[in-house]
Amino acid sequence: MKKRIAIIGSTGSIGTQAVEVIKQHPERFEAEVLTAQNNADLLISQAIMLKPNAVVIGNEQYYNKVKDALIPLDIKVYAGEESLSQIVEMDTIDMVLTAMVGYAGLKPTIKAIESGKQIALANKETLVVAGDLITKIARKKGVSIYPVDSEHSAIFQCLAGEYIKSIEKIYLTASGGPFRGKNKEFLSNVKKEQALKHPNWNMGCKITIDSASLMNKGLEVIEAKWLFGVEADKIEVIVHPQSIVHSLVQFIDGSIKAQMGLPDMKLPIQYALSYPERLQSDFQRFNFMDYPNLTFEQPDLKNFRNLALAYEALRIGGNTACILNAANEIVVSSFLKDRIGFLEMSDIIEECLQKMSFVKQPSYDDYVMTDKETRIFAKSLIV
């Protein structure tokens, strides 16, 4: 039987590539639900092509436009934030791919897990913000969470057939972004146009800026803790500029497994959707002769402080990572609007971590309040 997929965030970078994977394997997958926040035109095009059961447009002002375009196809159309959370509860959905960016993906993911849907997780912020809560609900409901991030997919693949207790260390690789090797003087003058030019990956604006500041790797460290049940001292980040080795696992006997391939997100997306099977693909193949030298180096925590701040948030626990994420979303948005400098992002995040109220064992409502209050405080620091 075909696996019926709901893509939450089908018009973003991950969502559009997931659509391609579904198109390439019509005998295995079908799109049951597609959602978007603002990109009504692309959502309409995707719906016409894939003919899902339903679509959701988050921004309600586009509801009539989407509905009128899809009336001839008898596709159900819903709108609004609440619809995003309700749509994942449909009985006809087998798996939910959460491809929204940021904190906005938390509530739909929780609703999907509570409804017993299997999760393909591309929204790392879900586990960053509320990893303890999410993993508890998933265990209670018997729901599996399959990682879509290339690094976590690599770890997941390396752990196939292994015992979690055999893990000695996880190595998350980072490209280093466009500013690898640059000093503080250079970083203090960079503009968003420079930060958005990632050397290896084609991603959305927010994730690209996170990659440039190494916050993306910090968020991935926190995500890895919850996905694989390992503590911060067992997760190490190494810079690998070629982005061929996507991550590695070292075991207690000293052996290391690595997952390698060209930087193409369609592969980890397809693996998450098809697991435990591997499907034939026409993805470009890696050629060792094209990469005669693979290099590795330590991350620069002095000039790229966000990674250190993420480790600190993970060690403190409670709602600290929620504070980190909320502050980061505000500063990235402000940097993209030319309101603050590149290095100021870390300054504001650090002040939020120091000043916001700490909750040791947060509930869902605590996370919501922490996110709201942190955003207000972070905005007040931006003149």
Check whether 201 has a pLDDT greater than 80: no
> Amino acid identity, residue 271?
Y
Query: What mean pLDDT comes out for the span 4-20?
Result: 96
Q: Mean pLDDT in the chain?
A: 95
Angle between helices 125-141 and 106-114 (to 10 degrees): 10
| 349 inside domain | yes
pTM here?
0.94
Asked if residue 202 and residue 176 are part of one domain, the reply reads yes
Same domain for 163 and 237, yes or no, is yes
Q: Which of 96, 121, 147 is the last residue of a domain?
A: 147
Domain's final residue, options 124, 147, 170: 147
Domain coverage including residue 133? 3-147
Answer yes or no: do 7 and 94 share one domain. yes
Average pLDDT over residues 165-169: 96
Exposure string of 44-58, with b = 16+ CB inside 10 Å and e = fewer, is bebbeebebbbbbbb
Is 167 part of any domain? yes
Q: What does the pLDDT average to over 180-192? A: 93
CATH for 380? 1.10.1740.10
Q: Are residues 45 and 140 in the same domain?
A: yes
- 339 domain-assigned: yes
Q: Which helix (H) or strand (E) holds 265?
A: none
Residue 1 banded pLDDT, cuts 50, 70, 90 = confident
**What is the average pLDDT across 247-276?**
96
Is 281 contained in some domain? no
Identify the pLDDT of residue 101. Answer: 84
Q: Does residue 282 sit within a domain?
A: no
User: For residue range 71-117, what is the model confidence (pLDDT) as tens digits?
Assistant: 999 999 999 999 999 999 999 999 999 999 888 899 999 999 999 99
Which of 109, 126, 147 is at the close of a domain?
147
Confidence category of residue 320, pLDDT binned at 50, 70, 90: very high
- Domain count within the chain: 3
Average pLDDT over residues 29-36: 97
Are both 325 and 356 inside the same structural domain?
yes
Instruction: Give residue-wise pLDDT tens across range 118-146.
Output: 999 999 999 999 999 999 999 999 999 99
Shared domain check, 195 and 77 = no
Does some domain include residue 220? yes
229, pLDDT greater than 90: yes
Please indicate, yes or no, if residue 253 is contained in any of the structural domains.
yes
Confirm whether 245 is domain-assigned: yes
Question: Would you tell me the crossing angle of helices 306-316 and 215-228 to the nearest 10 degrees?
Answer: 30
Residue 322, pLDDT score: 98
Q: What is the pLDDT of residues 38-60, one digit of tens each?
A: 999 999 999 999 999 999 999 99
**Domain co-membership, 38 together with 134:** yes
pLDDT in tens, 363-376: 999 999 999 999 99
Domain identity same for 321 and 369:
yes
* Residue 207: predicted pLDDT: 87
Q: Are 131 and 156 part of one and the same domain? A: no
Q: Is residue 200 scored above 80 in pLDDT?
A: no
- In degrees, rounded to 5, the angle at the alpha carbon of residue 376 between the alpha carbons of residues 372 and 381 is 145
Whether omega for the bond prior to residue 52 falls within 30 degrees of 0, making it cis, is no
Residue 252 and residue 3 in contact, taking contact as beta carbons nearer than 8 Å:
no
Domain match, 377 and 235 both: no
Q: Are residues 141 and 159 in the same domain?
A: no
CA gap 248, 258 in Å, rounded: 4
Sign for the pseudo-dihedral over CA of 302, 188, 380, 306: negative
Asked if pLDDT for residue 203 goes beyond 90, the answer is no
User: What average pLDDT does this structure show over 168-194?
Assistant: 94
Domain harbouring 79, CATH code: 3.40.50.720
Range with lowest mean pLDDT among 144-158, 195-209, 246-260, 305-319:
195-209
Pairing of strands 167-174, 245-251: antiparallel
Q: How confident is the model at residue 197 (pLDDT cuts 50, 70, 90)?
A: confident
Greatest Cα-to-Cα distance within the chain, rounded to the nearest angstrom = 61
Q: Are residues 19 and 101 in the same domain?
A: yes
Residue with tokens 């959460």: 98
Would you place residue 361 in the very low, low, confident or very high pLDDT band (cuts 50, 70, 90)? very high
| pLDDT, position 65 | 97
Q: 44 with 235: CB under 8 angstroms?
A: no
Ordered strands of the 256-260 beta sheet: 235-239, 167-174, 245-251, 256-260
